[in-house]
Amino acid sequence: MTNKLSGAQILIECLKAENVTDIFGYPGGAVLEIYDAIYNSDINHYLVRHEQAAAHAADGYARSTGKVGVCIVTSGPGATNVVTGIATANIDSIPMIIISGQVGTTSIGKDAFQEADLTGITMPISKHNYLVKDIKILAKVIKEAFHIARSGRPGPVLIDLPKDVAMEKTEYKPITTIDIPTYKPTIKGNAKQVKAVISFIERSKRPVLFVGGGVVIADAHKELMSFVEKTSLPVIPTLMSLGVFPFDHPLCLRFSGMHGLAHANMAIFEADLIIAIGMRFDDRITGKITEFAKNAQVVHIDIDPAEIGKSIPVDLPVVGDAKAVLKDLNSLLKKNLPKKEQWLSRIQELKAKYPLAYEKNTKAIKPQAVVETIAELADEQAIIATDVGEHQMWAAQYLHHRRPRKFLSSGGMGTMGYGVPAAVGAQVANPDKQVITISGDGSFQMNLQELSTISFCKLPIKIIIFNNRFLGMVRQWQDLFYEKRYSEVDLEGKQPDFVKLADAYGILGLRIDNVDDLKPILKQGLDHAGPVLIDVRIEREENVYPMVPAGRVLNQMKYTDKDAE
């Protein structure tokens, strides 16, 4: 007798073959067969309370581990609700599999109940997608999907599975090999071009090393450290790579861009060579593109050839995996290169001239002080997920960032509501680590229903809300560029009591509205064994500085409110 399994059962077997142990999802009519198969499986399913959260949880799971995150949603609105999470993962190159239910194959294209063309919708915002109409290719599709999601430049891959295909039965044969002729990512960089990188460094007088999320994805932090030790290059991580090179290293300039540190921006402006590894020169980093690093030659190392030269002209392209290219560079460097003493001295001058600072000793709670206190009290191995807004930038600026995969944040998409569900995924993936969400009162309310997931699953996540009763970053722009016409950003009296909300979900809620209570109450919350929500009433109209206004050059920064006038 042949071993016949349903499409749903084949899906579960394929997930197990990919070592998937945890998935995030929300059931519905089109995925009932799949959920029935999950019921008798040994895969852990985590019920989110909104499909967007399923994608963000899978995303946080992937960012914190390097593994492929998996989520499952039903057809129609369930599928469209996951779109924001797919776009968020796609632009930040996060390996993820999204399994969406679909109406039966005979109903596709007929406006059936809860039908949505998810493959059409997600084509521009996913690495790849599949609509599986034949059960006989299902196992092959799943194998391909995982390979595509995790290899090359990672990204989200959608598998749209019609209900009748999930119900149909066929003989299951595990797929153990894979070959996609049209998909062959380049891993090893061209030998001549790799060798030329060293020549560029030797000829330069003011080089900087620009390090992006691709170095984190490639798990190349050790190779990066070795390369820096051999070359003594100043290092500028991007938002997506915070922690890949420790902030307290003397050669680290922290990060650059719109809200990056002033000395990092000035170093880019003065550099004569930029070596970019695994980053894409997005507009928040470059400022005015035509004026970006005008005096510098650019070496761009990236596994995605489409990124090289897309935004910034490149003098030396190297297509390859960050880890592989750094290994080759380190092997070519038989001895350390001479230090650029004059340039390193200038870097120290810039650090001294442009320190990261804020007004202290005030009665109001400064958000920067909250981040500094979190950094002081949190476990050294803590994973911190942020939402998007001012609090995100303060966290990027003032946390210590010593290890990779410890700072999870939506970069390219800037997705409000990312932080709490991403923390859910990170906590599931790292049950023995402290997981903290830094959120704003606006962002938090985008996915606050996930307090139910946290409570029900007994996840000891600590949520710290920077509550200024504003949509803070939008307010900052209205403050600086729209003559303080605060249009629809003032939330005073328009939001719930977050402490009572936490209590309603069975979560410990704490509030801090006094400077003297900041450290003791944060410590109480971080030391608590279960989940905690801490509502911190920060100064209402504190702005994030430094700031490079949109369309300006990196050296045209604003440092204070007075400077912004």
**Which residues does the annotation mark as catalytic?**
51, 113-114, 163, 473
Compute the distance between CA of residue 87 and CA of residue 122 in angstroms, rounded to an integer: 8
Q: Answer whether 406's CB lies under 8 Å from 243's CB.
A: yes
Q: How many CB atoms lie within 10 A of CB 359?
A: 12
- SS3 of 181, please? coil
Could you give phi then psi for residue 168, rounded to 5 degrees?
A: -60, 155
Q: Answer whether 119's CB lies under 8 Å from 167's CB.
A: no
Q: Which of 440, 489, 450, 385 is nearest to 88 (CA)?
A: 385
Max Cα-Cα span within the chain = 81
Crossing angle (nearest 10°) for helices 367-377 and 390-398: 50
- SS3 of 328, please? helix
Compute the distance between CA of residue 407 and CA of residue 401 in angstroms, rounded to an integer: 7
* Amino acid residing at 214: G
Q: Answer whether 383's CB lies under 8 Å from 226's CB.
A: no
For 137, the token pair is 């290719």
Q: Answer whether 257's CB lies under 8 Å from 285's CB.
A: yes
Residue entry with tokens 């599986």: 132
Beta bridge mates, 71? 24, 98
Q: Which of 243, 315, 320 is nearest to 277 (CA)?
A: 320
Compute the distance between CA of residue 477 and CA of residue 516 in angstroms, rounded to an integer: 31
Q: Which helix (H) or strand (E) holds 274?
A: strand 273-277
* Amino acid residing at 122: T
Burial of 340 (0-12, 13-18, 19+ CB in 10 A): buried
For 333, the token pair is 């460097």
Residue entry with tokens 């996913």: 126
Compute the distance between CA of residue 90 and CA of residue 381 in angstroms, rounded to an integer: 27
